[in-house]
Each structure stands twice: as C-alpha cells, then as structure tokens.
Amino acid sequence: MEHAIDEVAPAVEPTANYMTRTHCDPHEDMFALREKGSLVRILGDAPTQLGKGYVWQALGYDVVRKILGDHENFTTRPRLTEAEAQRTTNGEDVPMAPHFVGQISTYDPPEHTRLRRMLTPEFTVRRIRRLEPAIQELIDDHLDEMEAEGPHADLQGLFADPVGGGVLCELLGIPRDDRAEFIRRIRRNVDISRGFKARAADSAAFNRYLDSLITRQRKDPDEGFIGMLVREHGENVTDEELKGLCTALLLGGVETVAGMIGFGVLALLDEPEQKDLVFEGPENVDRVVAELLRYLSPVQQPNPRMAIRDVVVDGKLIKAGDYVLCSILMANRDEALTPNPNVLDAKRASVSDVAFGHGIHYCVGAAVARTVLRMAYRTLWRRFPGLALAVPVEEVKLRNAFIDCPDRLPVTW
C-alpha cells in the first residue's frame, strides 16, 4: 500500500523561482507546480533549507487548511535532528532548542496552550481599542514626515515600515527613544541576503536589548505587553520565555504589517474602484482589508510542518518525519476557496481564508493587524487623494526577507 502511494506521488524538481513573488501575485512557476496537484512532493532542499532530500509542498486550499489545522499529526517544532525526529514520532518529549524557547509558533500542546493563554488577554478588542489613539498618532506623524518630503517620497520607508514597526513597539512597551534602532535590528535580522554571521550578530544585539528590557520590567512593570505578562504571571513565565514571545511577535509582526501596507497601496493604486470603498463606511473598509489579506498574503509559507506519524492527505502518504510546506498565498488563490481568486474584489462574499493561518497557530495578533491596516489605508487616502506610483510597477523591487515586502515604494501626489 505504501509502495503504491509513493508511485502515484512522484517527486518533482521545482524551479529556483517558484517561491518568489511577481509583485502582488504568485510566480507563474508556482501556478505551474499546482497544476501537478494540490499536494506535490518536491526534490531537493535549496528552496526549503530543511536538509531533507525532498519535502511536500501543499498548494490547494483544502489541503493547506487541513494540514495547518492538524496538530495531532503534524508538529511545528523547528528543524529536528534525525534522532530527535525519531523520538518525536515515537511520542517522546524532546526539549526545545534554547534559541527557540518561548517562540510560540514552534510549540505543540500542552506548552503551546499554556503560552497562548498568557497572550490572549493582551489581544482583546478592549485592549486594541485602547491602542487606537497611539496608532493614529503614529500614522499621522509618519504621514507628516512623508508630506514634508513631497511631492515625491518612498512610502515604504517613510510610512509603511515605521508604522508596522512602531505599532509592535507600542504594544510591547519599547521606549520611544529606542525604537528606530530596535526596528533596524529586526529588519537586518530577517534580511536573508546578509548571510548567517551578519544576522547572528544583529540577533545577539537584539537579544541583549530584550534581556535588559525584561530585567527592567521585572523590577517595575508598566502597562505594555511585557509588563502585563510579568504582573499577571510572575514566576510562571521565565525570562527566556518572555524573550521568545517578544521575538516571535516582533519578527512575525513588523514585516507582515509593513508589507501589507506597502503591498495594499500597490494593489489599490491599480484598482481605484476598490480604493474608493475605503471611504464607504466601516463595513466596507473591513471588506477591503479582508480581501487584500486574502489576495496578497505576505506570509507565503509559515513554519514547516513535520509529520509525527504516517498520515494520508489528499490521497498521498506523508511518512513520519517528512516535512510539509504550506503555501498560504496559493491556498488563498484557489477556486476551492472563492471564484475568480486571482481578481481583487472587495465585494466578493466573505470567505474563510488562511491569511493569518489556521488551527492552534492562528496568528494571535490578527485583530491588531486588521486595525492598523484599516486606519492606515483610510488616513493615507484622506491625506493624499491623488496618490500615484512614481515609477513603473516593474521597478518596484521586493526585499530578500522571510516575509514578502516592497523594498521601496516611490509615490507622488
């Protein structure tokens, strides 16, 4: 039986570009790969860097949703050695590597459940509403700076980046004087073009800063995220867990929000009718944000999943120890989710997309991100109704980072 399934699931060698993005759209090679199936076994580890001879690539909505939601058969634990992978598939407990402690997206229940319960109160509607004045001030301040540069400016560098980073800093309670350097370190840390050693140095500096911040919060907790965790949970959360939780939120949130602001502007400049919906009441702006998240999905591939045991998905046997990549971008561009998925249409019926993931690892900060995007788009076009791209779209380059984001976005008004 196992042999027959292997025969009907031959391994395919992907192109070097299949994970790259063509501005707002998946690469044509990604679409070509999906023509071979919703779940494809691909050769090599160059695109994945997982050290395996092959991995599975999930490309269809139903398959991606199933795998993301199945924490009983799949784990998000980071790259395990062969011995650790064997122990995991045997049901044994494997200690978390020190540099991943607290990074909730790499945890399984019951530890994941414990950490998630600590985080949830900080992301309630009431807490987000308390943040809105600070978010609006941040948006206004950076639009003032952009206007001062005008009538030509880099929207990504002057607006999207500092707003995306500033909101997370506000949430965590990072002092204002430290934020510019702190965000710079984060961005350098996720810039994969810089090489491992250079990024490791920035990561070390980033961790030293978090250590000092956590020490201060232990002594005198404020109203920010870290202070809340210290007050509410005390010694039940370790310093290393606090550092890991902050790292996960910052690395996952800063570029995601910044990328969505930039990509969203790029998409809406090409679709003026969709842009106009931003001003037609709260319900419509929420629909625009939801559709942009589905259509753009800046987090193309979340953490790889490793099969804990043999499991059949989409008629194919995934063996214990196999890794699976789940393409959120392709899942959200699947007709199994919605008709005409490659068209940006904020008037389409509401859908259950996977832009923020699915299952126990659904993004804890999703509501914050939606709030920031709604406020950013409305304020931007209220201030700059004549906003336009200042260069041909082909000249807009993307960053070489884990999360898709425009590098520069030259605009005029």
116 in Cβ contact with 104 (< 8 Å) = yes
pLDDT, tens digit (0-9, with 9 covering 90-100), for 185-200: 777 777 767 777 777 7
Q: How confident is the model at residue 95 (pLDDT cuts 50, 70, 90)?
A: low
Four-point Cα dihedral 191, 194, 197, 201, nearest 10 = -60
38 in Cβ contact with 59 (< 8 Å) = yes
| More confident call, 220 vs 403 | 220
155 in Cβ contact with 376 (< 8 Å) = no
Q: Is the pTM of this model over 0.75?
A: yes
As a whole number, the mean pLDDT across the chain is: 86
Q: How confident is the model at residue 79 (pLDDT cuts 50, 70, 90)?
A: low
Q: How confident is the model at residue 281 (pLDDT cuts 50, 70, 90)?
A: confident
CATH number of the structural domain 109-296+351-413: 1.10.630.10
Question: Percent of the chain beyond pLDDT 90?
Answer: 50
pLDDT, tens digit (0-9, with 9 covering 90-100), for 368-408: 999 999 999 999 999 999 999 999 998 999 887 677 889 99
Q: What is the DSSP string of 69-96?
A: T-TTTEE------HHHHHHHHTT---PP
Report pLDDT for 2. 44
- Residue showing tokens 């409305």: 378
230's tokens: 């210290």
Give the span between the Cα atoms of 88 and 76, in whole angstroms.
Answer: 11
Q: For the chain, give every domain's residue range.
A: 1-68+72-97+298-331, 109-296+351-413
Q: How confident is the model at residue 21 (pLDDT cuts 50, 70, 90)?
A: confident
Give CA separation, 139 vs 121, 122, 135, 159, 382, in Å: 25, 21, 6, 8, 12
- Residue showing tokens 């999207």: 160
Mapping DSSP to helix (H, G, I), strand (E, B) and coil, where does residue 370 land? helix
Give the span between the Cα atoms of 360 and 364, in whole angstroms.
Answer: 10
Give the span between the Cα atoms of 282 and 289, in whole angstroms.
Answer: 11
Q: Which amino acid is at 42?
A: I
Report pLDDT for 197. 74
